[in-house]
Amino acid sequence: MDTNTSLQALMKGPLPPLYFCIGSPVVGNPTQHMMEKAFEQLGYPGRYLTIEVDPDELEPSIWGLLAMHFQGGNVTAPFKQEVLSYLDELTKSASLCDAVNCITRKDDGTYIGDNTDGKGFLQSLVEIVPDLKKRKVVVFGSGGAASAIVTELALHGVREVVVVNRTLTRAKTLVDNLAGISRTTLSWEPWEGIYQIKEHDLVVVQATSVGLFQPDDCIKVAFTPDLHNVIACDVVFNPVETTFLKKAKLAGCQTLDGLGMLVNQGAIAVKQWTGKEPDRALMRSSLEEAFAIC
């Protein structure tokens, strides 16, 4: 391509639409690589930036992104709940779980917050648990990811969901917010000491950030040996095989890593931003490339 022609086209515009991922920490987050591969495959000129935001500087950071007319972006820990007050509108999922991980700029210039974490997780889970509606699900945590997952499990109509958390007020608030939205039985349990996983036929979800970028870290749980028909899931994506999943495998559990959720929630976001369905297999392979596990 002629260089002068390229420069002339660039000068005439339009500027490429910009998207962001904000969090702390975000070093090691592979979302940018995945999203830009998806944009490229779709022939979409979007640019995606990974931005480290100091927890004390969230407000000016958000106003700066909105003032520069970013078309949307992703929000990761620890801002999924704090970001709510800066948005013009929330989807049903985001409102129910009180957390946002995906922001989209509407045609009128306002910003709507959604939560695609739970939807992405559910899509991954139903692929390996076709009888999910008959299952009991134990979810560890009550932060942004946990809230989104519990919300989508309840909307899906699983038999029972138990939220296990050290801060009982947060767990109780989450359960109370979702009361009556479906036939799912919702409850919470205190997390004191080492939590024993000893029931058969469970789905167990590690939905905290423990282990993220720290491969030796793990929540305080113990699996009874020789568990039958138990599915252990972890939302942590780096490392892909967490210590939690390793413990579960040793007890005979089937495991589900965090990559599927990451791909699915990202694909939902791309569809919202571009109106086009991205190639999820390509997005998965881009993550495997980023983690050098091909």
Model pLDDT for residues 40-72, shown as the tens digit of each residue:
999 999 999 999 999 999 999 999 999 999 999
Count: domains in the chain: 2
Mean pLDDT of the chain: 93
Same domain, 204 and 266: no
CA angle 24–29–34, rounded 5-degree value: 140
Task: Answer whether residue 77 shows pLDDT above 90.
Answer: no
Same domain, 110 and 20: yes
Catalytic site includes residue 80: yes
Task: Answer whether residue 6 shows pLDDT above 80.
Answer: no
Same domain, 86 and 99: yes
Same domain, 144 and 88: no
Buried b (16+ CB within 10 A) or exposed e, 114-150: bbbbbbbbbbbbeeebeebeebebbbbbbbbbbbbbb
Same domain, 197 and 123: yes
Identify the CATH number of the domain in which residue 107 sits: 3.40.50.10860
Among 80, 106, 119, 247, the active-site one is 80
Same domain, 281 and 180: no
Same domain, 110 and 122: no
Same domain, 252 and 123: yes
Task: Answer whether residue 230 shows pLDDT above 50.
Answer: yes
Q: Which domain holds residue 281?
A: 3-115+261-290
More confident residue, 225 or 294: 225
Same domain, 143 and 210: yes
